[in-house]
């Protein structure tokens, strides 16, 4: 159930962001500094992760529902005269515009409530010194699955 949700969302974003970002993939969660630097070989990357699964319910019909906190991490470096911070904001704005009421072309993901969407600048002096701008866009996503 969780792997299916992560895969569906990641593939959907890879298709939708193809014009802006060629490097879109899933990720297990937090980043190391070395990993961020490796990703910047492409100058722009998006990583999709399940941050937490704070709620799980099972209905009387045996339907499992998990409430997930999803995140899209936007990592940008300077390229071709485009400032990394402006490049990251362009991707953030695009992602935020795609999220409301989205089900990612599935029947098992519920639509996203726009009130759950947040964007956070993950700036730090250390990240900036490495030539990286990083943002996180998060939202709550409910996934359902018929239990066995």
Number of structural domains the chain divides into: 1
pLDDT at 41: 55
- Give the span between the Cα atoms of 114 and 100, in whole angstroms: 5
pLDDT at 56: 82
pTM for the structure as a whole: 0.87
Angle at 58 between CA 53 and CA 64, to 5 degrees: 60
Question: 110, 101, 112, 116: which is closest to 144 by C-alpha?
Answer: 110
- The tens digit of pLDDT for each residue in 100-128 reads 999 999 999 999 999 999 999 987 777 77
**In the predicted model, is pLDDT for residue 13 greater than 60?**
yes
pLDDT at 6: 94
Question: 32, 112, 8: which is closest to 68 by C-alpha?
Answer: 112
- Give the span between the Cα atoms of 69 and 123, in whole angstroms: 21
What residues contact 54, with CB distance under 8 A and at least 6 apart?
A: 67, 69
| CATH code at position 53 | 3.30.2000.10
Pairing mode, if any, of strands 44-58 and 23-26?
A: parallel
- Average pLDDT rounded to a whole number, residues 121-148: 83
**In the predicted model, is pLDDT for residue 26 greater than 80?**
yes
Give the E-state strand segments of the chain in sequence order: 23-26, 44-58, 63-77, 118-121, 132-146
- The tens digit of pLDDT for each residue in 51-97 reads 988 878 887 777 788 899 999 999 988 776 778 889 999 999 999 99
Which domain does 76 fall in, by range? 2-146
pLDDT at 42: 58
Collapse the DSSP code of 31 into the 3-class scheme (helix H, G, I; strand E, B; otherwise coil) and give the result.
Answer: coil
């Amino acid at each position: 159930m969780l792997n299916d949700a992560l895969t569906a969302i990641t593939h959907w974003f890879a298709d939708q962001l193809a014009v802006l970002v060629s490097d879109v993939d899933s990720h297990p969660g937090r980043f190391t500094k070395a990993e961020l630097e490796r990703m910047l070989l492409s100058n722009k990357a998006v990583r999709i992760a399940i941050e937490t699964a704070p709620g799980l319910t099972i209905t009387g019909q045996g339907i499992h529902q998990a409430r997930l906190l999803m995140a899209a991490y936007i990592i940008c470096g300077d390229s071709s005269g485009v400032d990394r911070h402006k490049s990251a904001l362009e991707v953030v704005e695009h992602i935020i515009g795609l999220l409301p009421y989205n089900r990612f072309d599935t029947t098992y993901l519920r639509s996203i409530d726009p009130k759950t969407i947040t964007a956070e600048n993950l700036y730090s002096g250390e990240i900036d010194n490495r030539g990286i701008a990083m943002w996180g866009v998060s939202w709550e996503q409910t996934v359902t699955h018929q239990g066995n």
